[in-house]
Amino acid sequence: MEYSEKVMDHFMNPRNCGVLSDANAVGEVGNAKCGDIMKIYMKIENDIIKDIKFQTFGCCAAIATSSMATELIKGKPISDALNLTNKAVVEALDGLPPVKIHCSVLAEEAIKAALANYFRSIGNNEEADKLDASCDGCCEHCDCGKH
């Protein structure tokens, strides 16, 4: 598997890896059968993602995309996170091998799952429902048509 230098850097030195004990937004996607699970923790204040952490079970690409995705939205408004696409994460990593694109999907969906969790906790079910789409980031058996 040939990875870009950026992917290897984020894999070897992941940013924002760990657990956030005072998170008010938590999302998890993927499953162990598929071979990758991503969990995102965020601390959101005044619509700003003050802090963010991730835990990932998965390959180099899964770990690197988690790291990059968290870095791209840390300190940013929620609206930026909502607009984050898996494509943007891939580009920021200088590309991924084609078979690994689903890892970036996982990162996008994990963030969306965390945001849905946040919206629901503040009673904004409408926004939450929009995010709770059919995609669980597990591309192998997926026909969500979103990515």
Query: 64-94 burial, b for 16+ CB within 10 Å, e for fewer?
Result: bbbbbbbbbbbeeebeebeebebeebbebbe
Min separation Cβ 59 and another protein, Å: 3
Measured over the CA atoms of residue 97, residue 3, residue 62 and residue 128, the dihedral's sign is negative
Q: Is 12 in the site for another protein (CB under 8 A)?
A: yes
Report the chain's C-alpha Rg in angstroms. Answer: 14
Site string for another protein, 94-133 (x = CB under 8 A): -----xx-x-------------------------------
Among 20, 23, 25, 38, binds another protein (CB under 8 A): 38
Min separation Cβ 10 and another protein, Å: 12
Q: Is 143 in the site for another protein (CB under 8 A)?
A: no
Q: What is the identity of the amino acid at 147?
A: H
Min separation Cβ 33 and another protein, Å: 5
> Side by side, which strands form the sheet with 48-57?
25-31, 36-45, 48-57
Q: Is 92 in the site for another protein (CB under 8 A)?
A: no
